[in-house]
Structure 1
Amino acid sequence: MRIGLTGGIGSGKSTVAGFLREAGAAIVDTDVISRALTTPGGAAMPAIAQQFGVEFVTADGALDRDRMRALAFSDTAAKRRLEAILHPLITAEALTQAEAARAPLVVFDVPLLVESGRWRPRVARVLVIDCTVETQRARVLQRPGWTPERVEGALAAQATREARRAAADAVILNDGLPLAALRSEVMSLAARWGCETMTTP
């Protein structure tokens, strides 16, 4: 069974992905794929340099992430141009990894699953990790280099809680939940979906 895992920034999605891996799921992390595409020699770099200019490329040939992040948060058209380059490459690599996986559950970890619109038809279930916006802000501000302005920009670029929950087959509310309780919820869900996979003709 193919599962889509998503959640807003600071929701705890990465922690949940780790628990799903512990439960035996294969994790296809689209953020990891995106970073690989934009490292020196990455497949996306020629198109990015052509579209945005060499000022968005570091001396060693990687994407200047800070500069691009600032542009994408402030310019919707630029964000769409970047997505037009990255999304098809990310999707192709993610599906390749999924085909090679040998696990009862394949989990696509996709931060912008709801926003992109391209992932829902590719998965049997969507799991949303949810928490309040106040909790998101507090968690992300603890990360090195994050300012309140940058946090607000990231929140504004993502779908609302309501939109994510509307797209979900299951929601885990990770707000004040002890880590052991979060793990228990994830393991229970993984077991249930794994059993569904084994009993589906």
Structure 2
Amino acid sequence: MAAHTPFPDYGRNVLQIGIAGGIGSGKSTLTSALERAGIRVIDTDVIAREIVEPGRPAWQALVDAFGLAVTDADGLIDRKFLAAVAFPTPTALRRLNAITHGAIGAEVLRALDEARDVHYAVAVPLFRPEHRTLFRLSEVWATEVEPEVAVSRLIQYRGFSEEDARNRIQSQITNSERTAIVDVVIPNNGAIDELENRIKTLLLERGIAVD
């Protein structure tokens, strides 16, 4: 795991947690627990949906890059179809990321400016080491699940085909690569109660109680 000075609060006595993890690894359960503990969560997945709404610059850029076929009957970006088009092809995925990542980062920074002097967590599924400084993070946690468990969850709970699930997982960094750049790894191959108990322990160690 990453080696750095723990809990640098950049002049503020607050927790500043990054949340990483592959698709299907339990990030939503983790962020929900943090919200119940009074920690403000800034979720880049939510922001990613907002920035591609009609009328936003990223919407037009996606249509220019991939065509009107990536929109539905209401003119909204069909995120599932776009993912099926982009994720299997490295060139298309780079094009997608180039359009969306800058806009997402700008929105996160705006939200951080509004979160001064409060505990916050930034959920960044595609976490990279530079996000630690960019998003002013004191530590980074990652949920982790075995790839086959993730495939099963995506098929069962989110309606993915097996091919789509495997393409999404293969487009991300591996568990070992992620472990090398985060501070805390939270395994989540078992029951949800096990994950929630681990989260409670981590928060209690940092002086925050969870109901």
TM-score greater than 0.5 by the shorter chain:
yes
Contact 1:40 1:60 in 2 (8 A): no
Other-structure match for 1:179: 192
Partner of 1:107: 121
Q: Secondary structure at the match of 1:94?
A: helix
The aligned residue for residue 192 of structure 1 is 205
User: In angstroms, what is the RMSD of aligned CA positions?
Assistant: 1.9
Deviations 1:8-29 (A, max 9, x none): 1111111011001111110001
Question: Is 1:151 the counterpart of 2:169 in the alignment?
Answer: no
Distance 1:82 1:169, change over 3 A: same
- Which piece of structure 1 moves more, 154-163 or 178-187? 178-187
Aligned to 2:96: 82
Q: Distance in 2 between matches of 1:191 and 1:92?
A: 32
Q: Which residue of 2 aligns with 1:198?
A: none
Would the alpha carbon gap of residues 118 and 43 (structure 1) be closer, same or farther in structure 2, given more than 3 Å must change?
farther
Q: Distance in 2 between matches of 1:65 and 1:168?
A: 28
C-alpha distance after superposition, 1:66-96 (max 9, x if no partner): 3311221222111111111111110111111
Alpha-carbon deviation of 1:169? 0.6
Unaligned runs of 5+ residues in structure 1 are 196-201
Larger relative helix fraction: 1
Q: Provide, for residues 26-55 of structure 1, a one-character-per-residue CA deviation record: whole Å limited to 9, x for no partner.
A: 000101001011122233112212222222
Partner of 1:141, secondary structure, is: helix
Distance in 2 (CA, whole Å) between partners of 1:182 and 1:64 is 32
The 8 Å contact of residues 17 and 109 in structure 1, kept in 2 or not, is answered as yes
AA partner of residue 98 (structure 1) = L
2:57 counterpart residue number: 43
CA contact (8 A) 1:6 1:127 kept: yes
Whether the 8 Å contact between 2:88 and 2:171 is mirrored in structure 1 is: no
Distance 1:42 1:194, change over 3 A: farther
Unmatched 5+ residue regions in structure 2? 1-14
Does the residue aligned with 1:175 lie in a helix, a strand or coil?
Answer: coil
User: For residue 120 of structure 1, what is the aligned residue in structure 2?
Assistant: 132
Alignment equivalent of 1:132, drawn from 140, 146, 160: 146
Give the 3 Å change call, closer, same or farther, for CA 30–133 of structure 1 in structure 2.
same
Which TM-score applies when normalising by structure 2? 0.82
Please give the alpha-carbon distance, in whole angstroms, between the structure 1 residues aligned to 2:204 and 2:117. Answer: 13
The reply on whether 1:11 has 2:11 as its aligned counterpart is no
